[in-house]
């Protein structure tokens, strides 16, 4: 997480920019404390506190030409003013303002102190929404009183394209705008360009002083566009340099070289009971080439729910065992670890491969025995959870780390597991397809393989969005499916009820559904507060068909495989993200039966409705991932902070994709030409990379 006590600019700047805000004219200690709550500690921070949007107040509208319901910028003269009270006791200060075309009345409510600022005959500029009652009125307008010789063109607030900044309650927009204008005027001269001159010239980027001037107070829309492009390019460029350096570090290390051919691999191939899809076969070819190369593999395998990533990972694990190494697969939950352990054991134990399971809920005596087997090399493949990195575990000869559902793990955890061997290969997997825009940032240091198609025989899942008043029909449908021999999940966003919320909860609904709605069926309850042994029993009973309907929270989101389950009901579906809804839907449709996902929801926001509509329109996880990124934004999609990368502050990796791609191209070319960033023109860039990324474990090594 970004340290709020440290200046966040990506630029190497002169000491003048380090002046604390308290000592900037017009601030003082009290206001400085308020600014610090906004992470504004220095002049530099203010320069890089970019507007969140702009309002074009550059064109003055004659009063006779205003449109009711629209916002206008007006310039006129104070004709009269007065203070009155309404029948309800509300204080109203009213100013009549005229130009040579008409009169409009500006009104402020419960602000009698405003009166002291006005005099008859003053020139004034107003900005706000105009309404027509008996007369033209502009309520609570922003205003600026002009000096006798002032035409308003140099105002920070009116008569120009005006910046609108993010705020806290205690800081007024007008104050932060005026302060920013002063800082831009007084401190912009201390800025120095980080971007090498050749890269600026090649990409037609303005210098940083012009950019900062015009991103705050643009003289026109064209200059605003050029300023924005420059600032965003620079942030993306620095980020991509960090990614390029990390990728370079991995690829220059000496790792392990695997022999692809061998009897064990042939036996494994023959044991696969189905034909691989084109995507699976291609991913395996990528992995074979990586593992043959003595440089460490650092590959991301992404594919939709049910696309068959596990068999590809198993192929890689067998390959490392054939070469005398150990393999490990780390997953986020004990349920998923046990499922992988059982599935791998069925396939690999007959081939003479020893598969071990290491999770926290294993008794200590058994755990110590497994640890010793790992240390001695008797455990060929180890399946586990966070216990693999949290426990004192030593591998004899670790050759491959597989990380499943890797977005549940941070970059530091990935590196801790990797360091348990001597430069082992790394394969990370995700069933949440990653939009290309994110793949170039969060996963830009990884080579990527994608499995797009589903294996033959996977049945499509019919998805419906149903409002709460049809709940009984949904329950009836679930009952009908169970009578046909199928099973169902009903998922809730919470474990327990909250007095302050109408969101349904699993524990309370379990009691009602078990005793009233589905009293003729066997109903189970699963959530995160149930201990490991009990969870195992519940899931085992569900897989065996001894539980017909499983009431659950999102604990079943990842990797649970029950082919007989054909119905997924998601309560309060508006409370879930789009990718999470898609993951939950993927728990059904895994067998030979027609399957259904029913979203129970009465959404109140436009985005929530769009999420539900998107899910009913497609089962393509890649299309859903792009839509999810559009709706939620890059900061929320995967929680990019967990990957060791800084938050993207200035640009938008969706709408600014072209800038991102160009910045990436330039960054990778630069690191290829000067991997140590030792050229004189790259000195400032090297210092910035070190200062910004030195605390991010496992991210990069600069120079």
Average pLDDT of every residue of the chain: 85
Q: Which residue has the higher pLDDT, 230 or 644?
A: 230
pLDDT at 703 over 50: no
**Number of alpha carbons in the 13 Å side-chain half-sphere of residue 290:** 27
Please choose, from the candidates 680, 655, 698, 650, the residue with its C-alpha nearest in 3D space to the C-alpha of residue 238.
Answer: 650
For the packed helices 173-187 and 208-216, what is the interaxial angle rounded to 10 degrees? 160
Residue 634, pLDDT score? 57
Q: Is 216:223 a contact under the CB 8 Å cutoff?
A: no
Backbone dihedral angles phi then psi of residue 111, each to the nearest 5 degrees: -135, 60
Ranges 248-257, 472-481, 590-599: which has the least confidence? 248-257
Q: What angle do CA 492, 498, 504 make, to 5 degrees?
A: 25
Query: According to DSSP H, which parts of 272-308 are helical?
Result: 278-292
pLDDT tens figures, 664-689: 999 999 999 998 889 999 988 888 88
- Overall pTM > 0.85: no
- Find tokens 């009063």 and name the residue: 63
For residue 154, the model assigns a pLDDT of: 60
* Phi, psi of 430, rounded to the nearest 5 degrees: -145, 140
CB 195 within 8 A of CB 688: no
**DSSP secondary structure letters along 65-112:** G--TTSEEEEEEEEEEEEEEE-TT--EEEEEEEEETTEEEEEEEES-G
String of DSSP letters for 217-264:
S-SSHHHHHHHHHHHHHHHHHHHHHHHHHHHHHHHHS---------HH
* pLDDT for res 407: 58
**How many angstroms separate the CA atoms of 420 and 559, rounded?**
26
Q: CA 568 from chain center: how many Å?
A: 26
pLDDT of 701 > 50? The answer is no
CB 336 within 8 A of CB 484: no
Q: Is 203 helix (H, G, I), strand (E, B) or coil?
A: coil
Please tell me the predicted confidence (pLDDT) of residue 348.
94
169 against 514, higher pLDDT: 514
639 class by beta-carbon count within 10 Å (0-12 exposed, 13-18 middle, 19+ buried): exposed
Q: What is the pLDDT of residue 10?
A: 43
**Mean pLDDT (whole number) for 187-193:** 90
Q: Which residue has tokens 């003082």?
A: 28
Is the Cβ–Cβ distance between 492 and 512 less than 8 Å? no
Question: 423 and 291 in contact (C-beta within 8 Å)?
Answer: no
What gap in Å lies between CA 187 and CA 220, rounded to an integer? 22
In 3D space, the residue among 44, 52, 51, 49 whose CA is nearest the CA of residue 21 turns out to be 44
* 703 vs 497, more confident: 497
Please determine, for residue 375, whether its predicted confidence score (pLDDT) is greater than 90. yes
Cβ atoms of residues 332 and 413 within 8 Å: no
pLDDT in tens, 587-643: 898 888 899 999 999 988 888 888 899 899 888 887 887 777 777 665 555 444 444
- Tens digit of pLDDT for each residue in 431-470? 777 776 677 776 777 788 888 887 776 778 999 999 988 9
């Amino acid at each position: 997480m970004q340290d709020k006590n440290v200046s966040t600019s990506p630029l190497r700047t002169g000491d003048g920019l380090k002046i604390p805000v308290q000592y900037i004219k017009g601030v003082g200690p009290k206001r400085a404390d308020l600014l610090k709550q906004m992470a504004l500690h220095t002049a530099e921070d203010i320069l890089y506190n970019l507007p969140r949007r702009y309002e074009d107040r550059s064109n003055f509208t004659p009063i006779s030409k205003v449109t009711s319901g629209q916002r206008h910028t007006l310039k006129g003269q104070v004709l009269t003013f007065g203070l009155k009270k309404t029948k309800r006791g509300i204080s109203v200060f009213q100013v009549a303002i005229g130009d040579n075309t008409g009169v409009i009345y500006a009104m402020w409510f419960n602000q009698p102190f405003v009166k002291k600022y006005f005099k008859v005959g003053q020139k004034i500029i107003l900005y706000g929404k105009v309404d027509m009652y008996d007369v033209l009125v502009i309520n609570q307008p922003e205003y600026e009183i002009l000096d006798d010789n002032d035409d308003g063109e140099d105002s920070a607030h009116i008569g120009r394209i005006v910046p609108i900044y993010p705020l806290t309650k205690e800081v007024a927009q007008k104050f932060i705008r005026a302060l920013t204008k002063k800082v831009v005027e007084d401190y912009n001269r201390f800025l120095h360009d980080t971007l090498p001159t050749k890269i600026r010239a090649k990409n037609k980027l303005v210098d940083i002083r012009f950019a900062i001037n015009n991103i705050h107070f643009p003289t026109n829309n064209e200059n605003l566009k050029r300023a924005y492009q420059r600032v965003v390019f620079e942030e993306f460029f620095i980020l991509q340099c960090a990614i390029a350096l990390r990728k370079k570090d991995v690829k220059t290390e000496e790792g392990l070289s695997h022999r692809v051919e061998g009897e064990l691999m042939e036996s494994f191939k023959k044991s696969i009971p189905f034909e691989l899809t084109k995507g699976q076969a291609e991913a395996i070819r990528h992995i074979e080439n990586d593992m043959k190369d003595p440089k460490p593999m650092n590959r991301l395998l992404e594919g939709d729910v049910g696309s068959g990533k596990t068999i590809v990972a198993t192929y890689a694990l067998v390959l490392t065992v054939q070469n005398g190494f150990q393999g490990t697969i780390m997953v986020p939950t004990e349920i998923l670890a046990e499922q992988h352990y059982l599935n791998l054991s069925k396939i690999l134990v007959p081939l003479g491969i020893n598969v071990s399971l290491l999770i926290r809920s294993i008794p200590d005596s058994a755990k110590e025995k497994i640890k010793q087997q790992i240390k001695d090399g008797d455990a060929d493949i180890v399946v586990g959870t966070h216990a693999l990195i949290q426990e004192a575990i030593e591998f004899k000869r670790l050759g491959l780390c597989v990380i499943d559902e890797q977005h549940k793990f941070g970059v530091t955890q990935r590196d801790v597991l990797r360091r348990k061997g001597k430069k082992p290969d790394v394969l990370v997997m995700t069933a949440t397809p990653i939009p290309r825009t994110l793949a170039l940032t969060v996963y830009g240091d990884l080579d990527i393989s994608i499995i797009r198609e589903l294996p033959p025989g996977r049945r499509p899942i019919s998805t419906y969005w149903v409002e709460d008043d049809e709940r009984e029909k949904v329950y009836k449908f679930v009952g009908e499916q169970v009578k046909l021999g199928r099973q169902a999940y009903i998922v809730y966003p919470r474990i327990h009820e909250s007095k302050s919320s109408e969101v349904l909860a699993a524990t309370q609904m379990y009691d009602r559904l078990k005793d009233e709605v589905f009293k003729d069926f066997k109903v189970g309850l699963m959530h995160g507060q149930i201990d490991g042994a009990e969870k195992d029993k519940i899931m085992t009973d569900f897989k065996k068909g001894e539980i017909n309907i499983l009431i659950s929270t999102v604990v079943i989101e990842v990797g649970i495989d029950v082919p007989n389950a054909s119905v997924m009901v998601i309560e309060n579906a508006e409370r879930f993200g789009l990718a999470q809804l898609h993951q939950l839907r993927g728990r059904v449709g895994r067998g030979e039966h027609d399957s259904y996902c029913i979203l129970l929801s009465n959404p109140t926001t436009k985005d929530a409705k769009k999420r539900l509509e998107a899910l009913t329109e497609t089962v393509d996880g890649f299309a859903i991932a792009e839509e999810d990124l559009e709706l939620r934004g890059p900061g929320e999609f995967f929680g990019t902070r967990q990957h060791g990368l800084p938050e993207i502050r200035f640009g938008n990796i969706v709408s600014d994709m072209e800038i991102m791609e160009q910045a990436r191209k330039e960054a990778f070319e630069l690191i290829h030409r000067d991997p140590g960033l030792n050229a004189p023109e790259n000195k400032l860039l090297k210092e910035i990379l070190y200062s910004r990324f030195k605390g991010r474990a496992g991210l990069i090594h600069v120079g």
